[in-house]
Structure 1
Amino acid sequence: MMLKRVILGVEYQGTHYQGWQTQPSGNTVQDVLELALNKFAKHPIQTVCAGRTDAGVHALEQIVHFDTELNREMYSWVNGVNAFLPADIAVRWAKQIPVDIQDQHAFHARFSAYSRTYHYFLYNAKIRSPLWADRAGWFFRPLKVELMREAANYLIGEHDFTVFRAAGCQAKTPIKHMYEVKIRQQGDLIVFSLRANAFLHHMVRNIVGSLIFVGMGKREPDWIASLISAKDRSLSAPTFMPDGLYLAKIDYDKKWGLPDATNENLPYDMTF
């Protein structure tokens, strides 16, 4: 039988998991997803993801692929696998393409991606909200969004982002290209959206923490530029909580024909 590469768009709430990547405990999104795939396919399946998420981090659309000889309709891969998944993980769509595993130009969830987008949801109010618990970060002091927007401009472009890199980061280089940073506010919710070719470990949470320093008036907006130049992690703000971080979208060449389903199930209005 011809080998097929199946691509899945997976959504999950990461609150109760130790991140994406498989662990001996078995309590990761990858472990749970592969268990469901194994039950549906009735043979072992190993997945490759577009970007590993940390413990407590969510995904609006994680992209994964795996190879199989099974011939199934796409709705079967969605509904069949979802039947074996818990309520906080779901396959949203599936696409199948023929593949030659020796072809270096074959689709790859990680290496074929040309950009990633993360959202960070921050609830900014004096009193924490039980409705946003585990789904958004919380900061009780008032923040000036305009100052944070000014500061975010210094992040745009290709930079050495060492200052926002976790000590255990395994990326080959700290140099990344930040294409866009948007900061929007709707009531007490502030949403940071960052799009780059790739991200370092804890990079988004470290950036959000530093922008909050600016928003509360503790630092001037151009402090972000000085941090980038300094390349010293000890100078920037502490890593902010994971609760509000969402892997939102992975961009690929249109030739792969992947569906654009990332705006179908957002927990807030993205149009503001």
Structure 2
Amino acid sequence: MLSVVRKEGQGRSGNLDYENAEKLESPEEVASLIAAWAQAGSSVFVRLNSSDTPYSTLFVKPDAYENVEYQDGGFLLEPLYPPIGNLKVRNQSSILLEVSYDSYIYHVNVPYNGVCYHEDGRRMLELGIPAPIPRWSQMRSNRRVPCPGSCSLTLEIKRPSGLSFEVPLRDISMGGLSCWYPKNQAKFSEGAKVKCIITSLTMPKPLEINGRILRNHSRGHGTYMRIFFDENARSIQKRISMVVDGVHKGRSQSRKRLLGL
């Protein structure tokens, strides 16, 4: 096992204000939060240093721990994606986790204890319990506003390569959106960077927001992806709010017309 060394300042991302962040400090509260992340199947992005491209992974649910030998007082992550060499991970004493859960964003340095193995041979990453855990509001309204076919918004997704395509919106909020995959497009990897370009007849110019693929979902007749807006969205929060509110008002007016109100 590696010794745990806290690296001060590591993981300060974008414009997040660490000094004034709300913090969870009690060990019981922190352990309870991590257990909730795992039970909810929350996606997690991992950075080996503050400037590194994030890797994506999932928490190992607690009911799988009985088949694993690991130190008490920690938690486990599935292997990182894209795959990463053992040597690069082995040299870490701590890693940065980015988790989105229950309308909050969490960015926290976590002690890295090493690799452990499930009885089926599956490799997992063992992490210690951090304290405190800072969190920030996900700056989204408490609701995702559905975007039906009659919605006036048009969404274009642009890959880093420059390739772009239009997709139907499912819903939108202050913190992100979801949209259906076109059948002729390859799926994005979780954590992949994209640019969302939103246009509408009521908007003077397109709204461009950088984001990352949070996860892919299959449902009934198709597959959709959920996109989490990156921190650059803070600078255009007012414009995002106007878009979300506009969709919500449009839905309310449609319901009133339908009910003859």
TM-score (normalised: structure 1): 0.27
Could you say which structure has the greater relative contact order, defined with CA pairs below 8 angstroms and 6 or more residues apart?
Answer: 1
TM-score (normalised: structure 2): 0.28
In terms of fraction of residues, the more strand-rich structure is: 2
